[in-house]
Structure 1
Amino acid sequence: MNGLIAVYYRELLILRRRLKRQLAGMAVSPLLYLVAFGYAMGGGMIVQGRPYLEFLIPGLIAMNGMNQAFGIATEINVARFYWFIFEEFQSAPIGNAAYVAGEVLAGMTRALIGALVVICLCLPFGLSLHFGGWFWLAVLCNSFVFASLAVTMAMLVKSHADQSLVTSFVITPMAFLGGTFFPIDRMPLWAQKLLYFLPLTHASGAIRTSAFGGTPSAVSYLIMLGVGIVFFFAALNSVNQARD
């Protein structure tokens, strides 16, 4: 437990030092999407019985949470390739599970802040969205999935170029195809079946349903939790291999 707290506290200190810049970075993309898609393209459009802006915001919360949780991979890479912090963790009395859990918690913290940033951006618009327990549970599950994936990828890649490839071929396509900007039922049936396997699809659906005041399907939470656990143990295995 002490090792977990030490890893997590280190990441919090880095986040606190860069907090203003991080908040600005977390707000830029969602704000651009709100203006470009919510107003310029979606003004007056009704999607699933709601104004498009109300449909869009839960998707942006899911997408921003994914991006911020996965962003912990960059911090790990910098620590590995430039500061050699990982080597210090190797020599310290910190278990692999504690290291992975600390980094995952740091990624989840960033994701929660990212979700709060999007909520703050939408509050002035007076939208009728609900932010209850089911909503925050979906946000947590979403952040757990992508923070665990981030730690896995950060330990497997050999350079920042490799990390950029992962973002380009995995994170960016998922951001646009995971039910964030449009309902996936507008896609061909074969595409819907493929998109069903994306964790962001379930995160967007659960966050949107709960934000609209409904109760999301338990299946979405179970899928996110299951995928997150798989990624967590994959991260643990990758750290074990890196230490060997």
Structure 2
Amino acid sequence: MIQGAFAVYYRELLILRRRLSRLIPSWSVSPLLYLIAFGYAMGKHVAVDGHTYMEFLIPGLIAMSSMTQAFSISSEINIARFYWHIFEEIQAAPVSDLSYVTGEVLAGMTRAFLAIAVILVLGLLFGVVLSLNVWFWLAIVLNSFVFASLAVGLAMLVKSHADQTLLTSFVITPMAFLGGTFFPVENFPAWAQKVIFLLPLTHAATAIRTASFGDMPSLSSLFILAAIGSMFFYISVLFVKKAKD
């Protein structure tokens, strides 16, 4: 199982290494624009819970980027399925469904961590230093695990890149703007808060932000992320099996 998972993971790492020089600038553009537009233009004189808006924003960007980059592994899977037919080759290889999902999820999480490193560097350039404690990294691991697992499962369902775009528009984009990334969840109406707290990114953004300020995040948020990630991982294994059949 370990060898199969490593083989899948190593293949994705080789692809990532070849594209890294192009990916790093692309990972930098959106956070940089958010920091300039929201951090300076809008939030220069705004304080949130005793912190500057820039300090509030960067943990949210970390949560959002770890989500989007972990989920982006689904696009790599679709390219491999539709154009290179790698999935068919993996079917013929002695790689179990569990090994395949594990390797792809690890690849998605790796992309997330690299994108987070870019944001942390940008944060330093803007004079923001966060507390990178164990709770901070645990929240990031769980968040990237959730969305990488979701990505693998959904990648097995889509039939084209158009379907993938729709999933991104209806699943990822709403969470990016409603999950407490740019604004405190408490600013929304009470009924909206109940809906927003159903989103995994809300718990991730809250946990990452709390940890980055040097405090211990809510264990319930971490547990919810772990439970959702485990559920998505299990479903992904089932979807891979169904796709092979």
Give TM class, smaller chain.
over 0.9
Q: Is 2:238 aligned against 1:237?
A: yes
**Conserved in 1, the CA contact under 8 Å of 2:139 and 2:208?**
yes
Match for residue 225 of structure 1?
226
Q: Cα deviations across residues 109-147 of structure 1 (Å, max 9, x unaligned)? A: 001111111001011222242111100000100000000
- AA partner of residue 153 (structure 2): T
Match for residue 208 of structure 1?
209
Distance 1:180 1:70 in 2: 17
TM-score by length of 1: 0.99
3-state SS, counterpart of residue 130 of structure 1: coil
3-state SS, counterpart of residue 102 of structure 2: helix
Match for residue 116 of structure 2?
115
3-state SS, counterpart of residue 18 of structure 1: helix
Identity %: 62
**Conserved in 1, the CA contact under 8 Å of 2:133 and 2:211?**
yes
Distance 1:32 1:61 in 2: 14
Map residues 62-211 of structure 1 onto 2, 5 A cutoff. 62-211=63-212
Shift of 1:16: 0.3
Q: Cα deviations across residues 40-78 of structure 1 (Å, max 9, x unaligned)? A: 111110111111000000000000000100000000000
Shift of 1:167: 0.6
3-state SS, counterpart of residue 116 of structure 1: helix
Match for residue 16 of structure 1?
17
Distance 1:128 1:82 in 2: 43
**Conserved in 1, the CA contact under 8 Å of 2:8 and 2:104?**
yes
Distance 2:67 2:190 in 1: 25
TM-score by length of 2: 0.98
Q: Cα deviations across residues 10-62 of structure 1 (Å, max 9, x unaligned)? A: 00000000011111111111111001111111111011111100000000000
Gaps of at least 5 residues in structure 1 are none
Shift of 1:198: 0.4
3-state SS, counterpart of residue 156 of structure 1: coil
3-state SS, counterpart of residue 180 of structure 2: coil
Q: Matched residue pairs, number?
A: 244
Match for residue 37 of structure 2?
36
**Conserved in 1, the CA contact under 8 Å of 2:123 and 2:129?**
no
Distance 2:102 2:238 in 1: 13
RMSD: 0.6
Distance 2:154 2:173 in 1: 15
Distance 1:97 1:234 in 2: 11
3-state SS, counterpart of residue 179 of structure 1: coil
- AA partner of residue 109 (structure 2): M
Gaps of at least 5 residues in structure 2 are none
Distance 1:9 1:20 in 2: 18
3-state SS, counterpart of residue 156 of structure 2: helix
- AA partner of residue 11 (structure 1): E
